[in-house]
Amino acid sequence: MRRKALISFDQWKSKKDRYPLLVRGARQVGKTWLVREHAKSYKNFVEINLEAQTELIPAFKDLFGKPAQLITAISQLTQNKITLDSKTLLFIDEIQACPEALLSLRYFKEKLPTLPVIAAGSLLEFAFSSLSFPVGRIDFLHLFPMNFEEFMLARGREDMVGAIKKIKNKPLATSVHEMLLKDVGLYTLLGGMPEVVRTHIEGGDLNDCQAVQQRLVVNYREDFHKYAPMVRIDDMRQVFASIPRLLGQKFKYSHVDPHSKSRELAQALNLLVKAGLAYKACHSSANGLPLEAQIKPEKFKVFFVDVGLCLRLLGLSLSQLSQERPDFLSNRGAIAEQLVAQELLSCTQQNESPAIYYWHREQPSAQAEVDLLIEQNGFVVPIEVKSQKGTGMKSLHQFLLEKKQFVKTALRISSHPYGITQNILSLPKYAVCHVKSSWSSY
């Protein structure tokens, strides 16, 4: 596996004024693997897991605010020597199991600044809600499933990744373009969960990959008991199962279950968002920046953590879909929108929080909707996601007319090749993440 986040880790390591790094993200997206891979660049690596090694938790409680003594205790309890310099990496996994451990991160910066410390955990947002967390005393990095570029790198297709990076100069050859569209279709079937991708690379067929997807879905469901007593597990299950079938539309709790209370379903959804299993795209009026300042919290769409797991929750057969039409799903409106949203979220930079938006005007005689909005380089970027045959952009043109002072370039994401007409840039789906990371080129 080759994860782009390793670049962020290397940049963090080289900082002179380095803070402890907290890796956030849903379970099974590869946080632990990523830290272990980065640890290969250190002379010494010490990993502790506060869910598995509960005997370490009293040390964090008893020696709170005393990091030097804490390090001595960890060394003794684990029989691992920890040198207080940049040659040893200390990794605290499942750190949410001990609130004192989370709060202790600030003291590593203040009293042991030479020791590199990385922490990771799932359900961290739950811990933050009950703690006065030391904002400004740590760096953080959000990790997501593998995006399309990482998927291609894992398959050894550096040549195709290189070709995509050159797309801003001219469209790719038709044969290369068509090949990448097929690759996007395969990625849409598999998704970016590392274990699924690894199964595919190691020779597993789509049935094997689907079995891994099913196991991941079951594991997520089994985690729901950890949210109790905050919410009813039945509400969690209902909302969790409903997200894939409600993709691309304004999320209404009555569409989840008309007989359940909206307040309880809202609580369940908010917990799924905190767990990193779902993401809200709130409506923004987009009259300038920041987009967040102009949202209507009650009006939003919901995207899932991974497009491949969406298909599993929908009960679709990967092998059957692949045989019938490999590019079918990536060209369906709602699934294509999930794919693009997932790509954009995966490009979230270090110390930024994931955020996407959309725009919808509900005037009876003049309805219009732009699928997604992001902020980039001081401008609003409206994004229209189209199916393979989709060509109409009435809503996008309407948005540009109304918000032209806030927009430099609009995006149309589809299966069509690269092209630009006036201030609308047409991009194929395989180029989404790269464009967001190098938007200044346009």
Q: Do 246 and 361 lie in a common domain?
A: yes
Percent of the chain with pLDDT over 90: 76
Q: Do 396 and 287 lie in a common domain?
A: yes
Over its C-alpha atoms, the chain yields an Rg (Å, rounded) of 23
Read off the pLDDT of residues 334-356 as tens digits, 9 standing for 90 and up.
999 999 999 999 999 889 999 99
Whether the Cβ atoms of residue 410 and residue 424 lie closer than 8 Å to each other = yes
Q: Do 160 and 48 lie in a common domain?
A: no
Residue matched to tokens 């953590």: 305
Read off the pLDDT of residues 80-104 as tens digits, 9 standing for 90 and up.
999 988 999 999 999 999 999 999 9
Read off the pLDDT of residues 174-212 as tens digits, 9 standing for 90 and up.
999 999 999 999 999 999 999 999 999 999 899 999 999
Q: How confident is the model at residue 441 (pLDDT cuts 50, 70, 90)?
A: very low
Q: Do 217 and 181 lie in a common domain?
A: yes
The domain boundary, picked from 115, 142, 169, lies at 142
Q: How confident is the model at residue 172 (pLDDT cuts 50, 70, 90)?
A: very high
Q: Do 162 and 85 lie in a common domain?
A: no
How many domains does the structure of the chain reveal? 2
Non-local CB neighbours of 270 within 8 Å, separated by 6+ positions: none
Q: Do 133 and 242 lie in a common domain?
A: no
Residue matched to tokens 């597990």: 233
The domain boundary, picked from 85, 109, 142, lies at 142
The domain boundary, picked from 91, 121, 142, lies at 142
| DSSP secondary structure string for all residues of 265-279 | HHHHHHHHHHTTSEE
110 to 17, 57, 138: CA distances (angstroms): 11, 21, 11
Does the pLDDT of residue 326 top 60, yes or no? no
How high is the pLDDT of residue 440?
Answer: 44
How high is the pLDDT of residue 134?
Answer: 59
Q: Do 168 and 68 lie in a common domain?
A: no
Q: Rounded to whole angstroms, how far apart are CA atoms 439 and 442?
A: 6
Q: Which of 422, 267, 429, 417 is nearest to 344 (CA)?
A: 429
End-to-end Cα distance, the chain: 30
Q: Do 165 and 77 lie in a common domain?
A: no
Q: Do 37 and 182 lie in a common domain?
A: no
How high is the pLDDT of residue 367?
Answer: 83
Mean pLDDT along residues 427-439: 76
Q: Do 121 and 11 lie in a common domain?
A: yes
Side chain identity, residue 234 = D
Side chain identity, residue 292 = E
Mean pLDDT along residues 221-233: 82
Q: Do 29 and 118 lie in a common domain?
A: yes
* CATH for 66: 3.40.50.300
Model pTM score: 0.93
For the CA atoms of 29, 31, 33, 119, the dihedral, rounded to the nearest 10 degrees, stands at -170
Domain range enclosing 348: 148-441
Mean pLDDT along residues 203-229: 91
How high is the pLDDT of residue 331?
Answer: 44
Does the pLDDT of residue 228 top 70, yes or no? no
Does the pLDDT of residue 264 top 90, yes or no? yes
Q: Rounded to whole angstroms, how far apart are CA atoms 74 and 79?
A: 8
Q: Do 121 and 197 lie in a common domain?
A: no
Q: How confident is the model at residue 390 (pLDDT cuts 50, 70, 90)?
A: low
Read off the pLDDT of residues 408-422 as tens digits, 9 standing for 90 and up.
999 999 999 998 888
How high is the pLDDT of residue 360?
Answer: 93
CA atoms within 13 A on the CB side of 159: 4
